[in-house]
Every structure is written in structure tokens, then in C-alpha cells.
A = this chain, B = another copy of it.
Amino acid sequence: VTVSAAESFVPVPDERVGALGMTCVRVQGYGVSLVDGLLRPGDRQLLDAIGDRRALVVTTPTVARLYGAALRRVLAPAGTRVRVAVMHSGEPAKEIETVLDVCAAAQEAGIGRRDVLVAFGGGVCCDVVTLAAGLIRRGVAYLTVPTTLVGQVDAGIGLKGGVNFAGSKNYLGCFHAPEGSLVDLGLLRTLPEVELRCGLAEILKMALVRDPDLFALLGERGEELVRTRFAPDRADAEWVAARAIELMLAELEPNCYEDQTLCRLVDFGHTISPALEERSGHRIRHAQAVAIDMALSCEIATELGWLAPDACATVLHTFRRLGLPLFHPLLTADVVAAGLHGATAHRGGELNLVLPTSVGTARFLVRPEDLPASAVAAALRCLRRRAR
């Protein structure tokens, strides 16, 4: 049953994950549920989602250190039927070798066609497990339990798996929908502040192109949400997360397999950022590069007369207040050119640059030849100056 995202925020009964969720947004047959207390001793939400299948729960060293004991405790009633594997993590681990490590662990654990993988980690863990689940027996079920804010509002709730390959970002991957995603804001309690700000960047991405109210709220309360680590008992934390998830899924839903259009609002901030990330050897975090890309896109939109200068200033001011980078010395003209070129290749010959037209709306610049090099150069100069 597919319920469009527009009907969301009504608790939707779902035979597998729905019973768990306070809030359940459904897209293309899978549900993203805001849940609570997944790792509380005796909690059965994860076990109930797994059911009577074999499962391999894949996590990362950091999550294993923080939550490994609690995770094993809630999974213990399943005995050896549910196993835990720890994969390498971080952007450098977003490679096919990590996917194959997970596949080997799954094969070892006897994961068959009707069994299930669980990604219990950040965005890279979810990306890797999605691809592994897509490959095993030509596609087995999987669940995601994103443990970072970026994962909870973006990387861990979609249906795309992907790894970098031969220097090309996400050159290999698949579309493979999860059975469900369980989002527990309580897991953010231990998340480093910089990672929370990265999550804010991804939420701001959606707000900036779709929701002026969400943008305004983040401008006012974002810093406090970071300080209180999105404590799940805060109504605003839950509202922000749920709204971000709803916006994300509403964008994905009509074009899940990207076969309808390669013009995607969720690509905002994702045009130049891959080249910047790559140039930095992934020392610049994904969401930081996204923030810088969004800042440059605002400047380009202003240069082209699509965005009012004061709206641009408001956006960049908000980014700065929330501790997000606007610029990086590695953002040179040739990195920008490489980003534009790479995106055009990835988007089938079209650039589809997302440019804000106000706080909350955006348009696409479709054809690469419609973006004058002079406007890009001027935007880059402005941004460099403003970021000083």
C-alpha cells in the first residue's frame, strides 16, 4: 500500500513497522517511523521488525562502542538467529570492498532470500547496507536505523545505495527500498556537535527549497536544538525531524527510481559538493560541502537575478549562525567547474542546478550552456569575500 506523503503525520497502521511508530510517513510502500527507546532494555521494537527471520545487523565501530552492549541486549532473545557485524565507517569506507565485507558476513550468517539486513549506523552504513541488500540473492529485505541526524533526515531513509568508485562519487549503486526505517532521536544524545550541525545542513536544504516556516524555525531554534541534541521529549525537535522527513519523502515519492526526471529538488547543494569533497580527500564532511554548495548556489542565483540580495544575505547569515561553513579555500574555480561537469554527466547531459528563488522556493537551471562562466566566477568572488 502506498500512501502519498501528503497524507502523512497520521499514525498509519503497518503490519511490520507501523505498530512501533509515533509518527509514520509512508512512501512507495515503506514507512519511516519516529520511534522512541529502541535500545531500552527489553525493548522489542527492533525484534518485532525483524520477525522470525534471520538477520544481520550491521553497525560501525563508533556505534558499536557507544551502543554495542545495549544493542546486543535487545537482540539477545533472538539468539544466534540475529547476528551483529561491525563494518568500517566514514566516507573512505563508502566503497565496494566494504559492501563485499557485509555480503561475506551475510553469507557466513546464512542470510537467504527471505531474511533481512539491518543498517544500524550513519549515512554511509545505510548506503553500504542498501547496496549489499540489493546484491544478495538479487535483493533481500533490509531495515535502516539511522544513528546520525544526517542519516535520520536524509541518507538513511531513502532507497538509494551507493559507493564511490575509481574516483567517481556514487558511480556504483542501486535503487532498493528498505522495508522500513526506524528513527530514534534518542540516539542523537551521543552525536558530536559537528555531526548535529551537518544534519541541520541537510534539513536546511529541504527547508530552503520547499518550506520557509521550517527555515525560519531553524534560524530561531536551530542552535538550541543542537545544544539539547534534539532531545526526543522536545516537541520542536520531533516536529523538525518529522517535517524534514516528510519533505524528503515527498520529493522522493513521485520519482523514486529517478526515471521520471533528473530534475530533483533534493539535489540542491549536491552539484558542486561532490567535487569539493573529493578534492579534500573527504576531510570536508559531506554535509559541510553541501552547505558550501548551497551558499555558492545562493550567490549564483543572486548573480543571475533569480534571488533577491537580501534573501541571499538572510540565508548565509543563518548558515553562519548555525555554525555551517560558507566557503573553503579548496573551493577554487576549477573545483566548481569539475563539479558542474560531473553533475552534468551524472544527470544525463543536463546540469539541473537547483537555485533558490526565495527562502522556500527554487528553480532548475537545466542546460549547462545557460550558466555563464562569468556569473559563476562573480558568485565565487562574492562568497569568498562574504565568508571572510
Contact = CB atoms under 8 A, between A and B. Distances in A.
Interface in A112-166: 112-114, 134-139, 160, 162, 165-166
B107 A165 contact: yes
Most chain B CB within 10 A, of A96, A168, A171, A262, is at A171
A257 to B, nearest CB: 8
A209 B166 CA distance: 46
Contact of A168 (B107, B138, B168, B346): B107
Contact of A136 (B134, B171, B262): B171
A138 B173 contact: yes
A345 interface: yes
A113 B346 contact: yes
A275 interface: no
Nearest to A173: B138
A112 B172 contact: no
Given A113-B345, A113-B347, A348-B113, A135 B166 contact: no
A161 to B, nearest CB: 8
A348 B174 contact: no
Chain A's interface size range is 35 or more
Identical chains bound together, number: 2
Contacts of A172: 103, 135-136
A260 to B, nearest CB: 14
A135 B138 CA distance: 12
A108 interface: yes
B174 A137 contact: no
B136 A175 contact: no
A349 interface: yes
Contacts of A349: 112, 114
A175 B136 CA distance: 11
Given A139-B174, A171-B136, A108 B166 contact: yes
A256 to B, nearest CB: 11
Interface string A207-220: 00000000000000
Interface of A: 96, 100, 103-104, 107-108, 110, 112-114, 134-139, 160, 162, 165-168, 170-175, 258, 262, 345-349
Given A96-B96, A96-B100, A137-B346, 8 more contacts: A103-B165, A103-B171, A107-B167, A112-B346, A113-B345, A113-B348, A114-B349, A138-B258
Q: 3 tightest CB-CB pairs across the interface, nearest first? A: A114-B348, A135-B172, A138-B173
